[in-house]
């Protein structure tokens, strides 16, 4: 099979028939063999009934239905293992992603040998209050991840089939799939300028909180990619620095006491000097950081993913 199209959705009943019709038209025109996997993420409208009816008329349609709304990441993760296409396309169900972009994305994966291609909605039909935070968000993402993409959060993406089989999308990490792919060794990541269409039906399901949560998820992913399997390298380093600070503070306290005694003047109480408190605080914090590193190492040692790796080929 050429292409698997994964479409997570929540209450998009109005757009589903038009979206599938458009996809079907493009697939027939390009002579692609394909499947469309709709993931109903707990819709309360009749989205599932429409998917079921599409399935009756088109065997290419498949569906997964959640009991309640779990989020986009679980929706993608539930579908990825079931995909059969050589190239996997993800797109939103609100008609803001154009199926006409699929052939170009497919060719970048198959002919240009990219592992992942992310859409870039260079011209957006969103209000300024949404586009400005998006630009700041993407600039931060490029700095932390080292991946030169302009639009990390674009739902329209294409993947080599091996990528979706070897990454795990959890919590709200769907916006960081390029980062997850890079950490798994899939480094040929590109982007393609795609058309952004104004929403035709319904309303957006995303609020401003996604930007704040996105930054927290980015920091978590960055930390795990750097120190997830070696936490002592992070906590031990900072703990050592704290111990060094504490050591010099104690030397300073001793030096002040010795100087006063040597000069025959009244020595100040040790507890009255700020260096004493700096030394005590540094020693305590350093000890806590070392203990955090040891605990992290114990957890890592017992983790089922402590020797996680991806095999691309094997000769026997």
pLDDT in tens, the chain (316 residues): 999 999 999 999 999 999 999 999 999 999 999 999 999 999 999 999 999 999 999 999 999 999 999 999 999 999 999 999 999 999 999 999 999 999 999 999 999 999 999 999 887 666 656 667 777 878 888 888 889 999 888 899 999 999 999 998 987 888 889 999 998 899 999 999 998 776 666 666 555 566 667 667 777 777 777 776 788 888 888 888 998 898 899 888 888 878 887 777 877 777 778 888 888 899 899 889 888 888 877 877 776 555 555 555 554 5
Q: What pLDDT sits at residue 196?
A: 79
Q: What pLDDT sits at residue 229?
A: 74
Alpha carbons 173 and 39: distance in angstroms, whole number? 17
Q: Are 199 and 95 in contact (CB under 8 A)?
A: yes
> Structure tokens of 292?
């955090």
Q: What pLDDT sits at residue 11?
A: 93
Q: What pLDDT sits at residue 126?
A: 62
Alpha carbons 282 and 246: distance in angstroms, whole number? 5
> Structure tokens of 165?
């089989």
Q: What pLDDT sits at residue 304?
A: 57
The DSSP call for residue 78 is H
Q: What pLDDT sits at residue 16?
A: 96
Residue carrying the six token digits 């004493």: 276
DSSP codes, 199-233:
--SS-----THHHHHHHHHHHHHHHHHHHTT-HHH
Residue carrying the six token digits 């309360």: 44
CB burial of 17-51 (b: ≥16 within 10 Å; e: otherwise) equals: eebbebbbebbeeeebebbbbbbbbbbeeebbebb
Q: What pLDDT sits at residue 57?
A: 94
């Amino acid at each position: 099979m050429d292409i698997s199209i994964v479409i997570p959705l929540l209450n998009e009943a109005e757009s589903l028939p038009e979206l599938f019709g458009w996809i079907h038209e493009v697939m027939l025109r390009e002579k692609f063999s394909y499947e469309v996997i709709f993931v109903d993420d707990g819709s309360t409208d009749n989205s599932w009934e429409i998917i079921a009816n599409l399935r009756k008329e088109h065997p290419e349609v498949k569906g997964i239905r959640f009991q309640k709304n779990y989020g986009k990441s679980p929706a993608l993760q539930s579908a990825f293992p079931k995909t059969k296409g050589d190239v996997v396309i993800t797109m939103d169900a609100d008609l803001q992603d154009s199926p006409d972009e699929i052939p170009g994305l497919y060719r970048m994966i198959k002919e240009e040998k990219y592992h992942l291609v992310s859409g870039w909605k260079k011209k957006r039909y969103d209000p300024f209050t949404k586009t400005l935070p998006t630009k700041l968000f993407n600039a931060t993402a490029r700095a932390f991840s080292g991946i030169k993409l302009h639009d990390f959060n674009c739902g329209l993406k294409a993947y080599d089939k091996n990528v979706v089989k070897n990454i795990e999308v959890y919590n709200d990490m769907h916006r960081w799939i390029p980062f997850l792919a890079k950490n798994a060794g899939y480094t040929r990541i590109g982007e393609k300028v795609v058309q952004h269409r104004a929403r035709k039906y319904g309303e957006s399901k995303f609020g401003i909180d996604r930007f704040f949560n996105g930054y927290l998820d980015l920091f978590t992913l960055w930390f795990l990619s750097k120190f997830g399997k070696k936490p002592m390298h992070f906590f031990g380093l900072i703990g050592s620095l704290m111990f060094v600070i504490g050591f010099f503070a104690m030397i300073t306290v001793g030096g002040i006491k010795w100087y006063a005694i040597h000069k025959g003047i009244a020595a100040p109480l040790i507890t009255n000097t700020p260096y004493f408190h700096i030394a005590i605080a540094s020693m305590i914090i350093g000890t806590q950081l070392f203990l955090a590193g040891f605990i992290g190492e114990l957890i890592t040692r017992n983790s089922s993913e402590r020797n996680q790796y991806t095999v691309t080929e094997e000769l026997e």
